[in-house]
């Protein structure tokens, strides 16, 4: 904090000292952290962050795209809630590609990348991230409507219903992307960074994204509270399974996007210095990556229709994975009819 205040009072004399001191703090603490892990001579802390997130994100891309695939292929998963879950998984996969881009840049040592170039490299992940969060809210709203007004919900036009929701999510994401575009190209076009999606959020755009994510997640939470209250009034296995599904998904959401948004807001509010800031954002970002990759496993664990769909898909691709050929069985029939045995020719001695 003293370094930050000093740089504000004497910008010309202290700027170099502040940057050098901050970098040395991060380097010293990162080296100590890697020494504890026993990998100080193998990988830097930056590469550890990039590689760990990229591995989790790659797994998440496979899981989320597979979730989209089985939703399209399985008739029992064609409800509005199932389709919204698939759309959320699709745009979450778009966002997860951002870590693959960052890994390529870090591995090839192409950074620092100017933010004006980074914006175009991360445009689709940026758009996907700002679509995925409102889709989570609309999943909660859809379940609330289906529980409170089941007859009305069963009669709605699915096509127009989904088009309206997709349009609202696209509008939200377009507004966020446009605000980010204006601030990046007007104020920081040549600022070089590692090209994360979070690097693009600057000034007013950063505050807008943080408040939007927190508001959407809290609204989603209250929607699920409403669903839980309505479910408690009904009895049956379906209600219990739905209760478990909602609980698991809600924990996943709050363990990811919500905590990350809260962490970034606290850091900005209290002006936390560089080294603790890095560790907090790394931990929160890692939880977010795990949350994004966990939707398919959660649905497999708590939902029998999804479990059957995943198992059927695995039974179809398992022979291809292990290169197993279909076994053919040969059946030999023996004639044991008494008449045939009686009339067969006798052997001549």
Kindly report, residue by residue over 131-141, the tens digit of the pLDDT. Answer: 998 998 898 89
Left, alpha or beta for 109 (phi > 0: left; psi -120 to 50: alpha)? left
pLDDT score of 112: 86
Structure tokens at 163: 């088009």
Q: What is the mean pLDDT of residues 260-282?
A: 72
Classify 71 as helix, strand or coil: helix
Q: Helices (DSSP H) in 271-337: which residue ranges?
A: 274-293, 295-302, 304-321
CB atoms within 10 A of CB 152: 10
Which uninterrupted H or E stretch holds 82?
Answer: helix 80-107
pLDDT score of 220: 86
Q: Are residues 3 and 137 in the same domain?
A: no
Whether 349 maps to a domain, the answer reads no
pLDDT score of 171: 96
Whether 337 maps to a domain, the answer reads no
Distance CA 148, CA 140 (A): 12
pLDDT score of 14: 35
Whether 227 maps to a domain, the answer reads yes
Distance CA 120, CA 125 (A): 10
Structure tokens at 285: 């970002």
Whether 339 maps to a domain, the answer reads no
Q: Are residues 138 and 1 in the same domain?
A: no
Q: Are residues 208 and 258 in the same domain?
A: yes
Q: Are residues 116 and 197 in the same domain?
A: yes
Q: Are residues 76 and 153 in the same domain?
A: yes
Q: Are residues 28 and 50 in the same domain?
A: no
Distance CA 103, CA 54 (A): 7
What is the residue-wise DSSP string for 231-272? HHTS-SHHHHHHHHHHHHHHHHHIIIIIHHHHHHHHHHHHT-
Whether 208 maps to a domain, the answer reads yes
Q: Are residues 124 and 203 in the same domain?
A: yes
Tell me: pLDDT of 295 over 90.
no
Q: In terms of residue numbers, what domain contains 267?
A: 44-321
Pick the range with the lowest mean pLDDT from 28-37, 53-62, 209-218, 328-337: 28-37
Pick the range with the lowest mean pLDDT from 35-49, 68-82, 163-177: 35-49
CATH code at position 153: 1.20.1070.10
Q: Are residues 16 and 80 in the same domain?
A: no
Q: How many domains does the chain have?
A: 2
> ω before 112 within 30° of 0 (cis)?
yes
CA atoms within 13 A on the CB side of 85: 25
Tell me: pLDDT of 19 over 50.
no
pLDDT score of 231: 78
- Can you give the pTM of this predicted structure? 0.76
Tell me: pLDDT of 184 over 80.
yes
Q: How confident is the model at residue 93 (pLDDT cuts 50, 70, 90)?
A: very high
Classify 192 as helix, strand or coil: strand
Question: How high is the mean pLDDT of the chain?
Answer: 77
pLDDT score of 35: 47
Q: What is the mean pLDDT of residues 221-234?
A: 81
pLDDT score of 147: 82
Tell me: pLDDT of 302 over 70.
yes
Whether 332 maps to a domain, the answer reads no
């Amino acid at each position: 904090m003293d370094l930050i205040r000093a740089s504000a009072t004497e910008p010309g004399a202290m700027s170099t000292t502040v940057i050098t001191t901050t970098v040395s703090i991060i380097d010293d603490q990162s080296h100590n952290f890697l020494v504890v892990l026993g990998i100080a001579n193998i990988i830097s802390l930056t590469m550890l962050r990039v590689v760990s997130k990229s591995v989790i994100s790659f797994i998440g891309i496979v899981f989320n795209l597979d979730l989209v695939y089985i939703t399209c292929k399985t008739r029992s998963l064609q409800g509005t809630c199932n389709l919204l879950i698939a759309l959320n998984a699709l745009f979450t996969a778009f966002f997860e590609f951002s870590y693959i881009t960052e890994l390529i840049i870090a591995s090839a040592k192409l950074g620092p990348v100017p933010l004006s170039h980074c914006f175009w490299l991360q445009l689709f992940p940026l758009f996907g991230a700002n679509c995925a969060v409102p889709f989570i809210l609309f999943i909660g709203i859809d379940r609330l409507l289906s529980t409170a007004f089941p007859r009305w919900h069963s009669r709605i036009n699915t096509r127009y219903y989904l088009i309206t929701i997709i349009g609202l999510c696209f509008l939200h994401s377009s507004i966020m992307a446009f605000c980010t575009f204006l601030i990046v190209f007007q104020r920081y076009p040549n600022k070089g960074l590692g090209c994360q999606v979070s690097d693009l959020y600057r000034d007013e755009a950063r505050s807008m994204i943080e408040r939007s994510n927190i508001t959407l997640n809290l609204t989603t939470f209250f929607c699920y509270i409403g669903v839980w209250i309505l479910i408690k009034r009904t009895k049956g296995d379906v209600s219990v399974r739905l209760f478990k599904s909602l609980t698991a998904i809600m924990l996943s959401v709050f363990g990811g996007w919500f905590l990350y948004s809260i962490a970034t807001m606290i850091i900005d509010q209290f002006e936390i210095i560089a080294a603790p800031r890095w560790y907090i954002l790394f931990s929160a970002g890692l939880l977010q990556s795990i949350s994004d990759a966990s939707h398919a496993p959660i649905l497999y664990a708590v939902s029998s229709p999804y479990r059957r769909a995943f198992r059927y898909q695995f039974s179809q691709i398992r022979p291809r994975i292990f290169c197993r050929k279909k076994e053919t069985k040969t059946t030999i029939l023996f004639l044991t009819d008494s008449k045939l045995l009686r009339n067969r020719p006798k052997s001549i001695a």
